[in-house]
């Protein structure tokens, strides 16, 4: 079974631009969660989508948004990029809403904002 | 509020020796506890979890963890470390907010 895939793997953007990251979950998984990983803040939860609905949200500004499609694929969008948005963005999928079920992570998208 | 503490930034151990990576947590309600490992330039890989039942949980690659409710700890252990175990280890907890909160990570270095 194929794992979680994320595209692109690397991205360089300029401050003020916007960016869209994509995540394809493991086949049959309906929950997709997004995390931001930085050296200073560690791993922080962004949001979780299940059946095309946002079910949970972390403490990030409204510049960070996401959506999920009917095939469970998810996209994350960051508008008006700031230097501090440079991070590894990880997507994780699970069979149902992430609770007692483990999540399977993709390799991440490394975003650099200059 | 939920929180996870990994008090050691780095743990060094000789190959063949037992290893322990510490984790303590604070959560409302019954905790779901997880350990993940991250190799360089890779995403996180699930190692093991505690939901309920036996306090000693066995996971992948020979790792195990012990849930201690009174000490609110969930330390990761392995009887005999391998050089290939060298990686970044994250403890995570989910309580009644349904958000997975990660610790800051502990870098495990196993020396030959």
d(CA A76, CA A68): 9
Work out the minimum CA distance from A108 to partner chain B, whole angstroms: 6
Sequence-distant (6+) residues with CB within 8 A of A21 are A6, A7, A8, A11, A75, A76, A77, A78, A89, A91, A109, A111
Determine, for residues B99 and A56 on separate chains, whether the beta-carbon distance falls below 8 Å: yes
d(CA A19, CA A30): 24
pLDDT in tens, A72-109: 999 999 999 999 999 999 999 998 776 767 899 999 99
pLDDT in tens, B8-51: 999 999 999 999 999 999 988 888 999 999 998 778 999 999 99
Report CA dihedral (A58, B22, A99, A61) to the nearest 10 degrees: 0
Give pLDDT, residue A15: 98
Express as a percent the part of chain A with pLDDT over 90: 86
Sign of the Cα pseudo-torsion (B98, B32, A68, A39, in order) = positive
pLDDT in tens, B57-100: 999 999 999 999 999 999 999 999 999 999 999 999 987 777 88
- Say yes or no: B41 contacts chain A, CB-CB below 8 A: yes
Best B4, B38, B43, B107 residue to mutate vs chain A (most A CBs within 10 Å): B43
Best B39, B100, B106, B107 residue to mutate vs chain A (most A CBs within 10 Å): B100
């Amino acid at each position: 079974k194929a794992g979680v895939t994320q595209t692109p793997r690397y991205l360089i953007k300029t401050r003020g631009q916007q960016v869209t990251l994509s995540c394809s979950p493991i086949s049959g998984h309906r929950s997709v969660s997004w995390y931001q990983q930085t050296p200073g803040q560690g791993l922080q939860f962004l949001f979780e989508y299940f059946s095309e609905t946002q079910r949970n949200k972390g403490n990030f500004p409204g510049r960070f948004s996401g959506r999920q499609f009917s095939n469970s694929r998810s996209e994350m969008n960051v508008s008006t990029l700031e230097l501090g948005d440079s991070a590894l963005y990880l997507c994780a999928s699970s069979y149902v809403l992430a609770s007692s079920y483990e999540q399977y992570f993709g390799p991440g998208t490394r975003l650099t904002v200059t | 509020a939920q929180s996870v503490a990994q008090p050691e930034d780095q743990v060094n151990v000789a190959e063949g020796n037992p290893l322990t990576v510490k984790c303590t947590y604070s959560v409302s309600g019954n905790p779901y506890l997880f350990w993940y490992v991250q190799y360089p330039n890779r995403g996180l890989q699930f190692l093991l979890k505690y939901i309920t039942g036996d306090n000693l949980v066995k996971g992948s690659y020979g790792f195990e963890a012990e849930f201690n409710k009174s000490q609110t700890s969930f330390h990761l252990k392995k009887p005999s470390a391998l050089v290939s175990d060298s990686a970044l280890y994250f403890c995570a907890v989910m309580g009644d907010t349904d958000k997975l909160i990660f610790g800051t990570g502990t870098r495990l270095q196993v020396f030959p």
